[in-house]
Structures are given as C-alpha cells and as structure tokens.
Amino acid sequence: MKERIFLKKKFKEYYSTLSIEEIKINGLRKREFGFVMFEESGMIRHKAFDSVNKLAEFLREYTPAHAYYSSAYYEHPSAENMNEKKWTGADLIFDVDVDHISTSCKNKHDKWTCLDCNNIGIGIEPKICDICGSGRIESKKWVCQRCLEVAKAEITKLVDDFLLNDFGFNLKDVEIVFSGHRGYHVHVYSKDVLTLDQNARREIIDYVRGKGIDVYFLFGKHSYEGIISYGSSINEPGWLGRWSRGLYDYIVNIKGGIKEKMRLPEKISSLLIKNMNKIIEGYSTNNKPLLSPLALSLKSRNLKLLVEEIAEEYGVKIDEQVTLDVKRLIRIPNTLHGKTGLKATTVKYDLLDSFNPLTDAITFKNGKITVKVDESPEIYMFNKDFGPYQNQIIDLPVYVAVYLIGQQSAKLL
C-alpha cells in the first residue's frame, strides 16, 4: 500500500510540472479517455475532456498510474454504450512489443513458474507446463537494452520502409512513441486512414507483416510450372525488391555460416544450400536471383513456403490486434507508465537512432532511496548497471527504485 502512495506522490510531482505542450492531442475533444488508478484495479473509462487544460488538471488532481486515450474519434466520446458514442474514425496505430519477438537475452532475464506443480523455467513461457501439462503459468518478464534495441530496429523498418516509402505518409502525420515499457507505438494521423474499416486495416497489417504474398506476384503466371528463371530485382519497389533482398540476405547468411531462425523445411534449405552459388551469381550480374535450378526442383507447395517464409521474416513484427482494433485505448504520449515510472516518450524521427529509452525516458533523476528488493536481474539504466539483487536492502537512485517498485519486485522499508 505505501508503495502505491509513494509512486502516486512521485507521479504527481511529474504531472504538476508537465507542460501543456507535451500533451497536445489531435482531436482531443472527440476521444474517449481511460485511466487506471493507483488505488483500485480496473479501468475508469468513457471520460472526455473539452480542453487540454482540463486533461492536465485531471492528471494533476487524480494522478493515475496509467493514462490512455482512444485511437478512435467519436461524436459522443463519453457515452457509456459503444454504439451511442457514434464512431467517426480512428488513427492507424502500430505496436511493436518485445513480448512478441523472441530475443536471445530473454533466457537471461525472463522466468516462468507453473502454478500447479511449481515447475520453473527460463526464457519465453511455454503454453503448457512440460511436466504437468497445466496451462496456468505465471511469468516474470523484464526488458533490457537489447530487447529495446530490437524493438527500435523494427520500428525504424516500419517507419522508413513501409509508412514513408510504400504508403507515402507525411512525416508530420507519423508520431513515434516509446511505450514506457517494452516497446514502441506509432500513431498515423493521416486523413487517408481515418475511416478505414477493419477489412482495410487487415490488409495494411498483412502488408506490413509480409503475410499472404503470392508466388504469382513475385514470379509471374508461369511460376508453378517450374519455368522461373529470375526473381525480381533488389531495386524494385515495394515487396518485389524487399523479397528479393530478403532472399539474398538469407542465402548470404547461410553461406557465412550464420544460423538462420527461419523455419523452412529441411528439404528446401538443403536445396537452397546446394544452389546458393548459382543464385548469388544471378544477384551479382543482374541484381536478381537466378532461381531456375532451384525452382525446378521445388514443388509448388515448397516454393510457396519459401516465398512466404522469407516475406514474413522481412515484414515488421507488429501486434496485429492493436492495428486491427478501431476502438483501442492507447497510452497517451508523454504520460507515465505505472509499471516502470518511465515516460511514454515521443521520439522525433531524426532522433530515433540515438534514442535510448533506459536513459531518455527516465523521469525521476534526482535523489536516492532505500528499498528492499525481492528479486531482480541485472538492469541497466542511465548508463549504469544495477543488480542482480536477491532479498537485499539497498540504497538506489529514485528512478531505479520506482522501476523496481512498479515491477512489484521491491518494497519500501
């Protein structure tokens, strides 16, 4: 309890000095707001504000642990019945969360416990316990610098290759936000996406993820008869060039002995290895892969698998549900995340490269406090390593203490 009071006090400090400029929100009056408070579980929903000042006042006075707004715009955002709200449109939102991406460092910092037989393991939790078969598994996940770098690389690919190049969105309509915890959000405010329904958003998701690519599209009508000679050039626009570059990377990686994480059937990968010199030869003379010897020995089903696997590998690993949902509540940029105390920081496109959330999103930079840490892996914040800790009473900078308390891994004395 006193931990929550402490967090709330710190958050209040932040909100009382927060400039209105930082929470400027497009179409604020048409959005629904939702909050999770420190005092109670569950979300307060269907709130609406008619000015940014009122919102700032609310944040200062009530100081929520989490603050969200709807990606949707409504005629009556505060109506409690979703139909009465009268949906008029929604931003296009992308969410890249390291939860959904397997990173090797997860074996270092993530753990799970089976609630039925107390079996424990490290890394990504299994769907069912490998000992007792129970599905009741509790996991404790942490993020590290490396996880967040992987997420940032995905976001860079999303914004550069897809949103700006292929979809042609204006940079001024694209907002990149560190989520305050495990990843990044991208908000697209273009009028071209405003009224798109779920079917249309599904197509955008599949495009970005690399799902549903067609052999015919890449190789033309005769591909299934096995008379493909060349794939598309690496310089071609959109997925034609992207796929071709993907295949090139894949083959070069195999050649260089780098183990690939793609799940291709043994038969296909051995064929690729057998033919890799010929394929690369095509690239060096024409910028295209020479595929005929390979394609001739691939059955159409296998060729389809190869094409799809490479496309999915080179797509962006976004959380589909977030983009699909046209009534989603999403964290308000530049508010604090109740589980980390980090700021959901808006990141300027030009500065994305050098942005480091575990430094740049830190809010409570001053002071130290003594806490009792139950358990924590090594964490890296503000250019310093802390921990690992196990049942330790220790003096920590406030930002580390807030982070560990938010993660429920530390208590006040």
Partner 1 sequence: MNAKNSVIDLSLFARYPFLSDAGNYVSMFNIDIDDLSKPEHNEILQEAIREIYEVVNGVSEVKHIDDYIKLMAFPVILALLSYIGSKPLINKYAIKKAKEVEEALRHENDDVLCYVASNGFNWTIKPTEKSVFAINFKDYLIASAMFNDQSWKLINQILINGLVYLSKSRLIRLMAAEVQRRIMQIELKREEPPEGIRSIVLKIREAIKKTIFERHDYLEVSGPINTEHFPPCILSIYNDLISGKSVSHIARFILTTFLVSIGLDVDSIINIFQRVADYDPDKTRYQVEHIVGKRGSRTKYATPKCENIKTMGLCLGNCGVKHPLNVYRRRIREKHERKNFFEKKVQGVL
Binding site for partner 1 (CB under 8 A): 80-83, 135, 165-169, 192-193, 196-200, 202-204, 206-207, 210-214, 216-217, 237-240, 311, 320-321, 324
| DSSP 8-state class, residue 332 | P
Beta bridge partners of 254: none
Q: Provide, rounded to whole angstroms, the least separation between the CB of residue 347 and partner 1.
A: 23
Q: 65 vs 234, which CB is nearer to partner 1?
A: 234
CA–centroid distance for 220 within its chain: 34
Q: Provide, rounded to whole angstroms, the least separation between the CB of residue 311 and partner 1.
A: 8
| DSSP 8-state class, residue 389 | E
Q: 119 vs 297, which CB is nearer to partner 1?
A: 119
Cα–Cα distance for residue pair 156/409, rounded to 1 Å:
32
- Phi, psi of 302, deg, nearest 5: -70, -40
Report which of 259, 264, 293 is spatially closest to residue 276, judged by C-alpha positions: 293
Q: Provide, rounded to whole angstroms, the least separation between the CB of residue 132 and partner 1.
A: 13
Query: Concatenated DSSP letters for 76-118?
Result: STT-SSTTTT-EEEE-EEEEEEGGGS--TTHHHH-EEEETTT-
**Sign of the C-alpha dihedral computed for residues 34, 1, 381 and 364 taken in this order:** positive
The answer to whether residues 61 and 93 touch, using CB atoms and an 8 Å cutoff, is no
Q: Provide, rounded to whole angstroms, the least separation between the CB of residue 167 and partner 1.
A: 6
| DSSP 8-state class, residue 290 | B
Q: 143 vs 205, which CB is nearer to partner 1?
A: 205
Q: Provide, rounded to whole angstroms, the least separation between the CB of residue 312 and partner 1.
A: 11
List the structure tokens of 337: 């995340």
Q: Terminal CA-to-CA distance of the chain, rounded, Å?
A: 12
Angstrom distances, CA of residue 167 to CA of 186, 210, 233, 314: 14, 14, 20, 17
Q: 82 vs 252, which CB is nearer to partner 1?
A: 82
Q: Provide, rounded to whole angstroms, the least separation between the CB of residue 111 and partner 1.
A: 24
Q: Provide, rounded to whole angstroms, the least separation between the CB of residue 135 and partner 1.
A: 6
Q: Provide, rounded to whole angstroms, the least separation between the CB of residue 263 and partner 1.
A: 15
Q: 114 vs 361, which CB is nearer to partner 1?
A: 114
Q: 21 vs 225, which CB is nearer to partner 1?
A: 225
Cα–Cα distance for residue pair 109/146, rounded to 1 Å:
11
Angstrom distances, CA of residue 324 to CA of 28, 42, 404: 22, 23, 33
Rg value, the chain, Cα: 24
Per DSSP, the three-state class of 174 is strand
- Phi, psi of 403, deg, nearest 5: -60, -50
Q: 168 vs 256, which CB is nearer to partner 1?
A: 168
Q: 39 vs 192, which CB is nearer to partner 1?
A: 192
Q: Provide, rounded to whole angstroms, the least separation between the CB of residue 282 and partner 1.
A: 22
Q: 220 vs 293, which CB is nearer to partner 1?
A: 220
Q: Provide, rounded to whole angstroms, the least separation between the CB of residue 283 and partner 1.
A: 21
| DSSP 8-state class, residue 190 | -
Q: 204 vs 396, which CB is nearer to partner 1?
A: 204
Number of Cα atoms under 13 Å in the Cβ half of residue 371: 28
